[in-house]
Amino acid sequence: MKLSSLPVLLFGTSRALGFGFGFGLQNPIVVTKASTSTASSIDTAPSYRDELVSLHKSLVEIPSISNDENEVGNFLVDYLTTRGFVVQLEFLPPSTNTSEPTKPRFNVVAWPGPDTHPSPKVLVTSHIDTVPPFIAYSQNSTSLDADTVIAGRGSVDAKASVAAQIVALQDLLDSGRIAGAEDSVMLLYVVGEETQGDGMRFFSDTKGKMDPPLDIQAAIFGEPTEGRLVCGHKGIFGCDITVTGRAGHSGYPSLGKSANEVLMRGMVRVLDTDLGSSEEFGNTTINVGLIEGGVAANVIPEKATARIAGRVAIGPESDGGEIVAERLKEVLLGVDEEAFAFDCKYGYGVVKCDCDVEGFETTTVNYGTDVHNLEGNHTRYLYGPGTIFVAHGPDEAIKLGDMEQAVEDYKKLILHALES
């Protein structure tokens, strides 16, 4: 049965839970703006400290592992609408992999009200899904200062960026620094970044259907970059590799062909080969994430498989991943030209970002982001608080001072993008 878009108008705290919505762009949500001013109990603290901590805490306390982002999305709908933002939901096609398939998945698109037909110049975006497992929110101190450490799943990747971006835009609005250009900035919080990037890809495919169609001039992506502006990141590709040998008695190895042995020799050859390198991004690296093979210790293995992921250090962005994957295949076929079979997802090559903004330290990173998944000719900025070295791990945590600095830096980036 073909599903079609069904307009849904929500107000205030109405929830997008458990209904048989179609997917696609939905009608905006509009409410009257409410005050968000919060007095700080610490004289040296920024005026928005309490609001930033509260928003970040609420986001981290809600489990939002990829494919189960509905509750945190609904929280953002309520949070933004009560602060005068127009909110539009983008419902993704239903997935058979969700833990609660009755709950729809959606991106949250928002902009300062009351205009329901925006023409934004700048997109500010991050993702609201996390990797498993859920880790509860915690603080190392009951009193707040710049050195307060806040922990929990998503506290860095990427709910710190989400909170800092929203507070930064709200502060610019409240201070009047973007007076007359309020509807030039749009917020976008997507699902699925940690898996296949389906949220951003869906937004990219459907942004032309908005009224009027979006013509973004710059996009600011939030990811943990240690407070540095990223000049680019490595690309990625993946391959499932199957080796076919010949089974036999392990006492007579000459009568068979060990698929495990062929696979291991091939993997070592790959790891010892330069598959592509560049001065800016270093070497292409291969992670052999999964190996399986054989049926018993005394049987020559007939089948062996490996699943690998490559971080691509060469371009072009469009097909750098395919170039490296083809080189990998050549290496393995040089070990045994008959035994190997490949199923590769070619991904993409290195992703370049704009990092020529005064006042920022710069860097490159090795991980993938949604930058590639948003198509268009816009300028691309990648920045966020926290370090990738604790993201996805059991000790994911961030200092409050780093989030507060990110608020200031996101304000700088938004203003820079508006003026460019």
What is the sign, positive or negative, of the torsion defined by CA atoms of 323, 326, 328, 331?
A: negative
Q: What are the backbone angles phi and psi of residue 34, rounded to the nearest 5°?
A: -115, 155
CA terminus-to-terminus distance, the chain: 47
51 is catalytic: no
Rounded Cα distance, 101 and 107, in Å: 16
246's CB contacts (< 8 A; 6+ apart) are 256, 257, 300, 302
- The residue ranges of DSSP E strands in 154-296, in sequence order, are 185-190, 218-222, 229-233, 235-244, 248-249, 277-278, 282-283, 285-293
Catalytic residue among 193, 194, 302, 322: 193
Residue 173, CA distances (Å) to 7, 29, 83, 134 in order: 29, 19, 11, 34
* β-bridge mates for residue 221, sequence order: 125, 382
17's CB contacts (< 8 A; 6+ apart) are 70, 74, 103
Q: How many other CB atoms are there within 10 angstroms of residue 305's CB atom?
A: 16
Residue 219, CA distances (Å) to 59, 183, 377, 418 in order: 22, 15, 10, 11
Estimate to the nearest angstrom the gap between the alpha carbon of 189 and the chain centroid.
10
Rounded Cα distance, 229 and 308, in Å: 29
Q: How many other CB atoms are there within 10 angstroms of residue 378's CB atom?
A: 18
Q: Which residues have a catalytic role annotated?
A: 193
